[in-house]
Every structure is written in C-alpha cells, then in structure tokens.
Amino acid sequence: MDKRLLPFRQQYYGAFLPAVNFVLDHEGWGKESDHPADPGGRTRFGISARHHGRVPLTLPRALEIYFQDYWLPIKGESLPPLLDLALFDSAVLCGVRKSVQWLQLELNDLLSPDQKLEADGIIGPKTMQGIDAVTGILGSEKLLCMSCRFRYLVSGLIWRRQAYHAKRVALRPDQAKWGHGWSRRCAALVKKVWNGIG
C-alpha cells in the first residue's frame, strides 16, 4: 500500500484502502486535470468537479468521497476479494448503477434460470445471494475463491466495461485520448484476477 494511505488505516478498514490505492495509482493521485474533451471537467484524485460540485483539494476529502459514493453503495466489504476491486474501480469510472448492472448480467450468465436477477443496478439481498451461489462464498466468510466461475464472473464484468469504453470512443472520437489508459486499467484488473492478487 502506498505510504500516503497509511495514516488512514484506522478510519478505513478492510479492503477499501487497497482498492482505492489501485484507483489512485491510475488516476495520478493528487494531479489535477482539466482537459477540454473530458466530460467530467476539472478533476483531482480522479474525482470530477462536474459530478461532485468541486474537486477535492485534499486526499482525506477524496477518500471520503470514494468511500461514501462508491465503496458503500457497492457493498465493497461484503464482496469477495478481487470482485470488490473490479466493481469499485468500474463504479468510479463508469458509475455505480451501470457497473452493478454489468455484474448482475454476468451473474445471470452463471446462475440457474430460477435464480436470475433483475439488472436494476442495486446490490441488494438477491444480488448478494447470486454472488454467493456463483462464488461459493457463504455469509461473512471471505475466502478467496479462484474457481473458474469466479474468474469468469469478474473477467466478464471487466470486459463489459472495456466494451463500454470502446463504444464510447466510437460514438465520441474526442474520447479516444483516454482509450489506451482505460484499456490498460482493465488489463491490470484482469491480470490481478487471473493471478489471484487482491
């Protein structure tokens, strides 16, 4: 973990700090950006002024936004390792609802017909039951499940995101500037999944 996050270990528990470390590594930490083609407008710590009113001036405020607006809505602490990271990073880049819908669609590919989920973009009890059914993780036991089904689930979520980015660039060629970075970030996630690195 990056030493800049060490002072926050008591405030933020579990897998949140390693997940946000991944995000900040790809977002340039406190580097500010204000590219005219960026639909998010001015950003710092990867957080856009357009979506959050103003960019956070400090790392503590950025962590608070990531925790409240992304980690809690995806129920990050209740997710299996690696799925938590992939869903969190997807939520940060593409929105919570869209990312959870991708997860639900991937779950539906693996669940039996009587277990199918509504892709409503909300992680509720049925989605958690679907995750448990696919990954074999029951209740609060957070065992690293590296079965083929688990890898398929997380990789499928990441590839749906990659397809979304490709479509976005096709519809808005001015977004191509970020295409390589988005692809590289997806590839880094897939590598973690297939190497079992949380």
User: What is the number of helices (H) and of strands (E) in the chain?
Assistant: 8, 3
CB neighbour burial string for 122-150, b if at least 16 within 10 angstroms, e if fewer: bbeebbeebbebbbebeeeebeebbeeeb
Give residue 198's pLDDT.
52
Q: Which two tokens stand for residue 69?
A: 């607006």
Q: What is the pLDDT of residue 150?
A: 85
The pLDDT assigned to 62 comes to 94
The stretches of 34-178 forming alpha helices (DSSP H) are 49-52, 59-66, 83-94, 96-110, 125-135, 148-171
* pLDDT beneath 50, residues of the chain: 138-146
SS3 of the chain: helix, strand, coil, percent, to 5: 65, 5, 35
pLDDT of amino acid 139: 43
Delimit the domains of the chain by residue range.
Answer: 1-72, 80-198
Give the per-residue pLDDT at 197.
57
Residue recorded with tokens 């590296």: 146
Global pTM reads 0.90
pLDDT of residue 100: 99
